Structure 1
Amino acid sequence: MSSALEFAAARVTTSVSADGGLVIESPVPLGGYENHLGEMLRRWAQAVPQRTFLAERRGDGDWWRLDYASAAAQADRISQALLDRGLSPERPVMILSGNSIDHALLALGAMQVGIPVVPVSPAYSLMSEDHGKLKALFNLCRPGLVYTAQGDPFTRALAQLPLDKVELVVTDKGSLDTATTDFAELLETRVTPTVDKAFAAVTPEHIAKVLFTSGSTGMPKGVINTHRMLCANQKSIALIWPFIEQTPPVLIDWLPWNHTFGGNHNFNLVLRNGGTLYIDGGKPLPGLIEQTVTNLREVSPTVYFNVPVGYSMLLPRLEKDDLLRESFFRNLKLIFYAAAALPQDLWRRLEKISLVSRGEKVPMTSSWGSTETAPLATSAHFPLREAGNIGIPVPGVALKVLPSGDKMELRVKGPNVTPGYFRQPDLTEPMFDEEGYYRIGDAGKLVDPDDLAKGILFDGRLAEDFKLTSGSWVAVGALRIEVIAAASPVMQDAVITGADRDWVGLLAWPNLAACRDLAGAAEDLPVEELCVSPAVNRQLLEGLRTYNAKHRGSSTRVERVMLMREPPQIDANEVTDKGYINQRAVLERRKALLDRLYAQTPDSEVLVL
């Protein structure tokens, strides 16, 4: 990688498991790590009390900053307030709203005295019609306190919850017509020795938080996240990224804290290493990406984290906006993507603008894991030439590779792996094999069987692949990445069709910004008209026909494609709030479109290659 960065050498050891699987591990011992997250906060409050820990934009639009000393003091007051209320693992704290300084303080104050936190996707409250997921999560967790930053946007959702014996805490009540406690009251609590006593009693096995899975292949499950998992994971990162301890990281990040990427990997990376986190109120969505752009013009990160859909929306702005590009790359040491595979076209474009801005390529890398692994299990801490390599096991993690049909299944063991699902023993038992390895459900390919240190290629979700009527298997994950790259910039995302049919097709979502540029269309042009634009359809067909010329087999060749007008719906479990598409849910909900795609005589909205 870049000479400016120091990465751990890529080395592995191997053995054979009792069931014949290949076990790959790092030879680097994990060593010791903190007992719980609260120790990290107190360490930096003493070492660098005035360094900014968290920053967010408030009402006047300026950045409001909180230093480490203030954060630790306020977390202690919140700890006392929660202990006074009798909160415990049986009565956890549930947080409904998104990333904010108050959210962080409440979570830190709870976790450091052994009270679990349950951050819930705001979409379950704000974008849902029936609030079915929210009610299910509430009934499972039985919280003793519920928090939301603002009352008004959550009025409908809160009305669906049985809050008669649950304290509701808000930062800004607004016109909410129900009994609440002002968040500021928690900060006025006088700290007693009870806090230090509870702090000292927290062990690595205490539950820090319950994170609900994104539901990318099913309904969300409550994953127990212990302090051991979170602290061990950060130690693993420090061992493979030594530079992260040498220079405190500066992050600007939108990734939601109710997911493991933003809430564990990124937030705790800052917390453990005494860094600074600027909370980005933007998102990779029309109307919100502009806020991210504004923030990145002002804040120059040292490491930048995002998901592929985020880079897809940010790249056109970076390519056109000189000031944005200069600020983005000024201090940047590493570009990181995860949560889904990065199309190769985006990889090449990132490298190109990096060269334009810096005269060199900023290293790009990825890792692999899940909510159940806290999240890091593997990391590519070595030079990469293209996307798809998920690296090698990080220190402390054992990766088992064994055949599953015509693929190689990956399983994980280590201190970063969850003990199970919260209050769901029926789901916990089947998640581990006989040797205690977590069945993550992903497949991988060895880059070089003769040199395992070259990494593993992500080979999709085992549950997503399907067979054509010919009996040929379709590798959905790999195919999706290739066709999105081929159809760039028209296609934002797609689901692969063809299960029990004769050929492969695509139901795709357009990249609205790119399509408007191609069509020379105004911002307010309806998506229905954009999808039938001759320029858009011509570009889409040209890209996919070029792809087909190199892929003639039935399991990789695309025969038809349809651009969908309706975006993926989170209420229908079609997409997570990180942008990961649930292939199965989309195909079930949009069966009418699927029937049109495979009609004997397709209509004009179906493009035939």
Structure 2
Amino acid sequence: MIIENFSNLIRRQKQKYGNREAFRHKDPHTKNWISTSWETFALQVKNIAKAMVEMGVNEQENMATYTQNRPEGLIADFAAYSNRAVMVPLYATSSEAQIEYIIKEAEIRFLFVGEQFQYDNARAVQKRFPVLEKLIILDSEVKKDDEDTTSVYFSEMMALGERSQRDDVVEERSGKVTDSDLCNIIYTSGTTGEPKGVMLTHGNYRQAMRIHIDRLNMVSDKDLSMCFLPLTHVFERAWTYFCLESGIRVAINFDPKEIQKTIREVQPTIMCSVPRFWEKVYTAVQEKIAQAKGIQKVMMSAALEVGRKRNLSYARTGRKAPLWTELKYKFFDKVVFTRLRAAIGIPKGNIFPTAGAPLSDTINEFLHTCGINIVYGYGLTETTATVTCFDTVGYEIGTVGTVMPEVQVKIGENNEILVKGPTVMKGYYKKPLETQAVFTQDGWFRTGDAGNLSSTGALVLTERIKDLFKTSNGKYIAPQAIETKLGEDKYIDQVAVIGDQRKYVTAIIIPAFEALKEYAAQKQIQYRNLEELIKNQNIQKLIQERVNELQKNFARFEQIKKFTLLPRAFSMEAGELTNTLKIRRPIINKMYRAEIEAMYV
């Protein structure tokens, strides 16, 4: 299959699919789902592309989007690509200071903003940085400030494009796009330092589309994908583009907090997500299993036993299950697993790519047991997402799958995973020294992750090298492994493991507050607020017991000796989490210095 660049993707798909649905979205105000055809999508892209010409957008100029997931963001993307311009996506949750850094470095003149929060931040930056010429406001209910004479609403820009006669310019620019042209600059979230702009070319994406079509031959244009992660995240961006390239319908989720409701409304067959989503699904199902009694509990236990045998022992290895096992599985699939999947919102699920953080083997096995086909993988922004992922048959729990077609992986010094291939980035924007530092002399990209290759060629992740620390006794600790294991527990929401140059390992733990409140009610524990609840001796004892059980398979020197419970979750707003929900360890160490020191007295 020949894959072309993105400059005329939407137009090509319009010719193929016509009035078939391209995507749907929920209006944030009316809450009604609105369907958009390929014909309409292509016309919208064409008009915004012409409006960009009228506004003075240049070829290979950097533009930016600063919004929650919404159709206008995709329209702006492909209009920019039609003009041979570059799109720089900003996280909708980013602060004023965060967007100012990127706007200045990337010299953004035109910025698409979503809601009032994004407009207000962008407008504040614009007042200090006049190079930012124009804000294009996507939400018609955003109120402009009284002094704003330059911003326009997206509807006004669309009207400008409808009146424009600059089709010839767009056509000429679109035809000039080459593989070496920049397509996106995606800024990494910066867990330890300032963000770096990853330069991804049209060639990077074209190759990414090709190798995913090659590997993921179980999906087709009959599937329906849920666009759930921020489109700023390379995983969702590349996945949604893959869906559009494959003619797969996309449902755009606007509010991440509403995903549980939205997924039940849409019932997608495919959806990419981070492990945190499935951790919450797992804890909810485990809670239901724990509450089951009598015949229901017996049925669930039997179903899980049969599901594990059929899906992991036989289907996973490509073997046909014995007739009796298959018949029992069909029965349990109908009376147990189908109902479970329907309760989640995926009764007709196909595949569910999952990456971005470690996924517990326990949760991975459980989901496959229940007939939820998790395609666990590994990738980075710098590699246009996927480096490895599970195969349909032969995947190994405990690994992140086998290497994608035409991508090369080898293990370097200090067990660092090195990658080479057509999807590896061009470099970091305006940072030649940082670019040089992440490539070996012979052109391999240094991922910063440690791992090894199994005998079958599957990649095993062991730790993030930058996260790895050493206790004062000289023992190396991989905190992510401990945090991932503790994350399985229904009473534990977030964990930050501490211990660099300390004599033993400790942790700051954020409880799952709703589950904790239910436990307190059951045990008749009285409290006035969360601060009082987490200090209760019975609660402390509960968490200690859960921690002890979950870490019993770790070496003694790896085990958490003391922990501190906090009454609120880590957040992006407080700076404790990146926009991709990764822990910022230096920030946490600084913010909770007193609590940490108290655990070493």
Q: Could you state the TM-score of these two structures normalised by the residue count of structure 1?
A: 0.83
Residues 186-265 of structure 1 correspond to what in structure 2 (within 5 A)?
A: 186-188=157-159, 189=161, 190-191=164-165, 192-244=167-219, 246-264=220-238
1:593, CA displacement in angstroms? 1.8
Alignment check: 8 A CA contact 2:49 2:79 kept: yes
Whole-angstrom distance in 2 between the partners of 1:243 and 1:174: 42
Q: Counterpart of 1:184?
A: 155
Name 2:84's counterpart in structure 1.
Answer: 114
Which residue of the partner structure matches residue 462 of structure 1? 465
What secondary structure does 2:495 align onto?
Answer: strand
Residue in structure 2 matching 1:347, options 360, 364, 384: 364
Counterparts of 1:62-461 in structure 2 under 5 Å?
A: 62-88=32-58, 91-124=61-94, 128=95, 131-151=96-116, 154-161=119-126, 162=128, 164-165=130-131, 166-171=133-138, 172=140, 174-177=142-145, 178-179=148-149, 180-188=151-159, 189=161, 190-191=164-165, 192-244=167-219, 246-264=220-238, 266-283=239-256, 288=257, 291-315=258-282, 325-326=342-343, 328-351=345-368, 354=370, 361-383=371-393, 388-404=398-414, 408-448=415-455, 451-452=456-457, 455-461=458-464
**Partner Cα distance (1:316, 1:544) in 2:** 15
CA distance in 2, matches of 1:570, 1:416: 29
Distance (Å, rounded) in 2 between the aligned partners of 1:350 and 1:491? 20
Matches within 5 A, 1:504-543: 504-520=505-521, 526-534=529-537, 536-543=539-546
Residues 355 and 376 of structure 2 are in contact (CA less than 8 Å); yes or no, is this contact kept in structure 1? Answer: yes
Q: CA deviation at 1:345?
A: 4.2
SS in 2 for 1:581: coil
Q: Give the aligned length.
A: 537
Return the offset for 1:351.
4.3
Counterpart CA distance in 2 for 1:568 and 1:211 is 24
- 1:373 touches 1:416 (CA, 8 Å); kept in 2? yes
Residue number in structure 2 paired with 1:590: 592
| 1: CA distance, partners of 2:364 / 2:516 | 20
Aligned to 1:18: none
Contact preservation (8 Å) 1:212, 1:259 = no
Shift of 1:301: 1.2
Structure 2 residue aligned with 1:41, among 10, 13, 19? 10
Comparing 141-150 with 211-220, greater Cα deviation is found at: 211-220
Distance 1:216 1:460 in 2: 15
The structure-2 alpha-carbon separation of the partners of 1:396 and 1:501, relative to structure 1 and needing over 3 Å to count, comes to same
Q: Does the 8 A contact of 1:52 with 1:276 survive in 2? A: yes
Q: Sequence identity, in percent?
A: 20
Q: 1:308 to 1:327 in 2, by over 3 A?
A: closer
- Structure 1 window deviating more from structure 2 (337-346 vs 93-102): it is 337-346
Query: 8 Å contact 2:66–2:118 — kept in the other structure?
Result: no
Greater alpha carbon shift after TM alignment, 46-55 vs 312-321: 312-321
Q: Mark the CA change 1:326 to 1:473 in structure 2 (over 3 Å): closer, same or farther.
A: closer
Structure 1 gap segments, 5+ residues each: 1-31, 355-360, 600-609
Aligned residue identity for 2:399 = N
Provide the C-alpha distance between the structure 2 equivalents of 1:526 and 1:350, rounded to a whole number of angstroms.
Answer: 35
Decide whether aligned partners of structure 1 residues 446 and 263 sit closer, same or farther in structure 2, where only a CA change above 3 A counts: same
1:253 Cα deviation (Å)? Answer: 2.5
User: Deviations 1:106-135 (Å, cap 9, x if unpaired)?
Assistant: 1110022211111111222xxx3xx22221
Whole-angstrom CA distance in 2 between matches of 1:508 and 1:152: 30
CA-atom RMSD in angstroms: 2.5
Alpha-carbon separation, structure 2, partners of 1:83 and 1:52: 28
TM score, norm. by length of structure 2: 0.84
More displaced 10-residue stretch of structure 1: 184-193 or 44-53: 184-193
8 A Cα contact 1:35 1:202, kept in partner = no
Greater Cα shift, 195-204 or 80-89: 80-89
Deviations 1:40-90 (A, max 9, x none): 322211111112212111121110111111111111111111122222356
Residue in 2 that maps onto 1:602:
none
Question: CA distance change for structure 1 residues 212 and 464 in 2, over 3 Å: closer, same or farther?
Answer: same
Q: Answer 1 or 2: which has greater helix percent.
A: 2
8 Å Cα contact 1:89/1:207 also seen in 2: no
Displacement of 1:557 after TM fit?
1.8
